[in-house]
């Protein structure tokens, strides 16, 4: 008798269809993510100048001259997309969408092979994956986490699957190759190299461990393709450590210990993480004895990957959890299989309630993504209203997302985030000093959305204020515009209030 009856499958299929429909509805006009701009620009300059760089992050560790710290394999893919499709927001976002489809395909394959989760649990696994707000958001953002999820799961499949065949050593080498590709995609991909190596060592598969390590070294070398000399390692470290963190002054051991202890932030950051963490706890607490017997390999590998992430992925942002999300989903799916098999009504009821809460909270987050729409005319309208006849002679300081699709219109677009990062180095980079620094760096035009008006303490200035050579020509809750007020300034503004009135409805949603 099958544990998952027809009612379960039908319900899960209906819910999956709902989340797939929501995801598809979110794709047209999906708003630019800050990382679409940040990482997309790396690919743009790699294609056009032959080297990755970031003019958005001007004066951050010389990255505007040459960027050696970037997501190498992902940047290369972005350059190919731009070559084929132009600097298209949707095309760049679609890179992650393709890897999401590959990840779903891998789920089908894994369940077909009854690896770590029974075939009949596929519908629950897909529901947990597609409903997850992180998957929903980053499945259409130009970031490498979905790609890492796919590569990590593919690497693990080859070495952790039960009943390994006689070609274990070959599997280990190929698994290492895939794990190395993960590192070449993002430095955090090193967690799969660490987890795979430790897993094989713990299992005392010494030859397989060596072959895995050899394979991972081979493809990891892709990360260093743009290193021109040994001096580039110092340049890379400089870019890696340029912005200080809370742990910079700590020793190596203390930094790692603090990172492990602080890992809980990744699981309790907001309601969407909290409810998923609760679902993990409920699943394991109700199935621990059985799942430890039936899926010890999965539990061990997942634990090793989580520990590696706590040490190597020092930034505690929840999006990095996407890398191990497939493993956790497989654990939950098999746990539910065990819970249903036990026929304990109370446990089944508690799990179902927790699952419904997870789906409900996820739905709230996902609907919010669907509702936010981006009008590609926004940035062009801002250029038309404030940049005059020769934007190609202007340096503009604006939100990162302004590069869509104005990157070729201006002499340089500098991201407000570069000033935001420099606040960590100089806490006084606000108000007068903010404008003074912008003037010193030859900025001609500044666009400040509401968040940055407060961040840089300029929100209380009335219209027409003249401060450190900049005049406030436009002010609203949505947008504050400062222009360099010099006789030699090439900008020419006619009735800026009228211009704002014309484009006000667009500006209202421009920089949320």
Give the end of a domain, one of 322, 340, 371: 371
Is 89 contained in some domain? no
- What's the confidence (pLDDT) of residue 2? 55
Report d(CA 328, CA 306) in Å as an integer.
Answer: 10
Is 453 contained in some domain? yes
339 and 440, same structural domain?
Answer: no
175 and 312, same structural domain?
Answer: yes
Give the end of a domain, one of 345, 371, 397: 371
117 and 200, same structural domain?
Answer: yes
Is 229 contained in some domain? yes
Is 110 contained in some domain? yes
Structural domain count of the chain: 2
Give the end of a domain, one of 342, 371, 400: 371
Answer whether 0.85 is exceeded by the pTM: yes
Pick from 177, 182, 179: nearest CA to 72: 182
Structural domain for 490, as ranges: 377-507
442 and 390, same structural domain?
Answer: yes
Report d(CA 217, CA 59) in Å as an integer.
Answer: 33
Is 18 contained in some domain? no
396 and 365, same structural domain?
Answer: no
Written as tens digits, the pLDDT of the chain (512 aa) is 456 677 777 889 999 999 999 999 999 999 999 999 999 999 999 999 999 999 999 989 999 999 999 999 999 999 999 999 999 999 999 999 999 999 999 999 998 877 776 778 899 999 999 999 999 999 999 999 999 999 999 999 999 875 554 558 899 999 999 999 999 999 999 999 999 999 999 999 999 999 999 999 999 999 999 999 999 999 999 999 887 654 555 555 566 666 667 777 888 889 999 999 999 999 999 999 999 998 999 999 999 999 999 988 878 889 999 999 999 999 999 999 999 988 899 999 999 999 999 999 999 999 999 999 998 888 999 999 999 888 999 999 999 999 998 999 999 999 999 999 999 889 999 999 999 999 999 999 999 998 999 999 999 999 999 999 999 999 998 899 999 986 444 444 443 433 333 333 334 444 43
281 and 148, same structural domain?
Answer: yes
281 and 258, same structural domain?
Answer: yes
Is 62 contained in some domain? no
385 and 466, same structural domain?
Answer: yes
Report d(CA 118, CA 47) in Å as an integer.
Answer: 45
Q: Which stretches within 295-344 are classed as H helix?
A: 296-312, 325-342
Q: Which two tokens stand for residue 509?
A: 């949603």
347 and 240, same structural domain?
Answer: yes
408 and 282, same structural domain?
Answer: no
501 and 469, same structural domain?
Answer: yes
- What's the confidence (pLDDT) of residue 254? 62
422 and 483, same structural domain?
Answer: yes
Is 24 contained in some domain? no
Report d(CA 126, CA 495) in Å as an integer.
Answer: 55
Is 14 contained in some domain? no
């Amino acid at each position: 008798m099958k544990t998952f009856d027809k009612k379960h499958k039908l319900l899960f299929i209906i819910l999956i269809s709902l989340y797939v429909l929501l995801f598809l509805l979110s794709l047209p006009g999906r708003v630019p993510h800050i990382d679409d701009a940040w990482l997309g620009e790396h690919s743009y300059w790699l294609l056009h100048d032959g080297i990755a760089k970031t003019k958005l992050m001007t004066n951050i560790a010389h990255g505007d001259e040459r960027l050696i710290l970037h997501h190498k394999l992902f940047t290369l893919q972005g350059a190919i997309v731009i070559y084929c499709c132009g600097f298209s927001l949707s095309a760049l976002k679609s890179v992650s969408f393709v890897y999401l489809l590959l990840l779903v395909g891998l789920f089908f394959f894994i369940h077909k092979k009854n690896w770590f989760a029974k075939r009949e649990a596929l519908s629950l696994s897909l529901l947990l994956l597609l409903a997850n707000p992180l998957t929903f958001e980053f499945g259409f953002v130009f970031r490498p986490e979905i790609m890492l999820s796919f590569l990590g799961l593919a690497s693990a499949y080859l070495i952790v699957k039960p009943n390994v065949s006689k070609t274990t050593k070959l599997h280990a080498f190929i698994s290492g190759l895939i794990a190395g590709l993960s590192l070449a995609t993002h430095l955090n991909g090193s967690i799969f190299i660490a987890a795979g190596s430790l897993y094989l060592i713990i299992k005392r598969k010494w030859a397989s461990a060596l072959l895995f390590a050899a394979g991972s070294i081979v493809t990891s070398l892709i990360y260093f393709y743009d290193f021109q000399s040994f001096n580039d390692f110092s340049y890379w470290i400089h870019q890696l450590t340029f912005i200080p963190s809370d742990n910079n002054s700590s020793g190596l051991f203390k930094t790692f210990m603090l990172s492990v202890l602080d890992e809980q932030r990744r699981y309790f950051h907001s309601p969407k993480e909290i409810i998923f963490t609760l679902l993990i706890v409920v699943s394991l607490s109700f199935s621990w004895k059985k799942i430890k017997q039936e899926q010890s390999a999965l539990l061990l590998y997942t634990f090793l990957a989580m520990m590696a992430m706590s040490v190597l992925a020092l930034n505690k942002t929840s999006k990095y959890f996407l890398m191990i999300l497939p493993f956790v989903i497989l654990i939950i799916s098999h746990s539910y299989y065990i819970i249903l098999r036990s026929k304990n009504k109370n446990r089944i009821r508690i799990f179902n309630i927790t699952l419904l809460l997870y789906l409900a909270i996820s739905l709230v987050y996902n609907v919010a993504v669907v509702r936010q729409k981006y009008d590609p005319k926004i940035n062009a309208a801002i250029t038309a209203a404030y940049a005059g006849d020769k934007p190609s002679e202007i340096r503009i300081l604006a939100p990162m997302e302004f590069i869509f699709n104005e990157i070729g219109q201006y002499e340089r677009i500098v991201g407000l985030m570069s000033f935001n990062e420099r606040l960590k180095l100089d806490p006084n980079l606000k108000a007068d000093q903010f404008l003074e620094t912008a003037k010193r760096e030859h900025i001609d035009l500044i666009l400040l959305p509401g968040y940055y008006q407060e961040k840089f303490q300029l929100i209380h200035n009335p219209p027409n204020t003249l401060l450190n050579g900049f005049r406030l020509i436009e002010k609203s809750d949505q947008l504050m515009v400062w222009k360099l007020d010099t006789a030699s300034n090439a900008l020419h503004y006619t009735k800026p209030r009228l211009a704002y009135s014309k484009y006000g409805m667009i500006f209202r949603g421009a920089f949320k």
